[in-house]
Amino acid sequence: MVTRKEVAEKAGVSVSVVSRAMNNSGYVEAEKKKRILEVADKLGYYPHPVAEALQKRRTKQLLFFCKDLRNSFYIDMYQGMVEAARKRDYMMVFNGSMDFEKIRDAMIDGIIMPNEVVTQHYLDTVGRNYRLPVIAASYGNPARFSRAVPRVEIDMEKVMELAVRELRANGHKRLALAMPYPFRTMDVRRLAFCSLMEEVYGNRIKDYYIGIHREELPEDPRILAFQEDEDRESGMYLPEEDFFGKGELAAQLFAERKIDATAVVAFNDEFALGMCKRFHALGIQVPRDISLIGIDGSSARKYRDPCLTSVGLFPEKQGARCVDTLLDMLEGKKVKYVSGSPIKLIKGDSVRKLE
Partner DNA sequence: CTGAAAGCGCTAACAG
Partner DNA sequence: CTGTTAGCGCTTTCAG
Q: Which positions touch its own copies (CB under 8 A)?
A: 44, 46, 49-51, 53-54, 59-61, 69-70, 72, 75, 78-79, 82-83, 86, 91-97, 99, 102, 104-107, 129-130, 244, 273, 277, 280-281, 299-300, 302-305
Residue 148 interacts with DNA (CB under 7 A): yes or no: no
Cα dihedral value 98, 271, 167, 207, nearest 10: -100
Of the candidates 1, 89, 219, 230, which one interacts with DNA according to CB under 7 A? 1
Q: How far is the CB of 50 from DNA (least distance, A)?
A: 7
Of the candidates 24, 56, 101, 131, which one interacts with DNA according to CB under 7 A? 56
- The closest alpha carbon to 247, from 220, 218, 223, 276, belongs to 276
Find all residues with CB under 8 Å of 344, minimum gap 6, and list them: 162, 297, 311, 312, 314
Q: Which is nearer to DNA, 60 or 158 (CB)?
A: 60
Q: Which is nearer to DNA, 1 or 148 (CB)?
A: 1
Residue 20 interacts with DNA (CB under 7 A): yes or no: yes
Please tell me the distance from the alpha carbon of residue 268 to that of residue 295, in angstroms, as a whole number.
4
Asked if 5 contacts 15 with a C-beta cutoff of 8 angstroms, the reply is yes
Q: How far is the CB of 269 from its own copies (least distance, A)?
A: 11
Of the candidates 38, 41, 51, 303, which one interacts with DNA according to CB under 7 A? 51
Of the candidates 24, 55, 97, 129, which one interacts with DNA according to CB under 7 A? 55
Q: How far is the CB of 291 from its own copies (least distance, A)?
A: 20
Please tell me the distance from the alpha carbon of residue 76 to that of residue 37, in angstroms, as a whole number.
39
Asked if 153 contacts 339 with a C-beta cutoff of 8 angstroms, the reply is yes
Q: Which stretch binds DNA (CB under 7 A): 7-15, 167-175, 182-190, 237-245?
A: 7-15
Q: Which is nearer to its own copies, 302 or 336 (CB)?
A: 302
Q: Which does 5 bind (CB under 5 to 8 A by kind): its own copies, DNA, none?
A: DNA
Residue 17 interacts with DNA (CB under 7 A): yes or no: yes
Of the candidates 25, 97, 129, 203, which one interacts with DNA according to CB under 7 A? 25
Q: Which does 281 bind (CB under 5 to 8 A by kind): its own copies, DNA, none?
A: its own copies
Q: Which stretch binds DNA (CB under 7 A): 54-62, 220-228, 242-250, 293-301?
A: 54-62
Residue 54 interacts with DNA (CB under 7 A): yes or no: yes
Q: How far is the CB of 340 from its own copies (least distance, A)?
A: 25
Residue 97 interacts with DNA (CB under 7 A): yes or no: no
Sign of the Cα torsion 284, 225, 201, 157 reads negative
Q: How many residues bind DNA (CB under 7 A)?
A: 28
Please tell me the distance from the alpha carbon of residue 208 to that of residue 33, in angstroms, as a whole number.
73
Please tell me the distance from the alpha carbon of residue 191 to that of residue 210, in angstroms, as a whole number.
14
Q: How far is the CB of 277 from its own copies (least distance, A)?
A: 6
Sign of the Cα torsion 169, 174, 180, 186 reads positive
> Which residues bind to DNA, rule: CB under 7 A?
1, 3-5, 13-17, 19-20, 22-23, 25-30, 32, 47-48, 51-52, 54-57
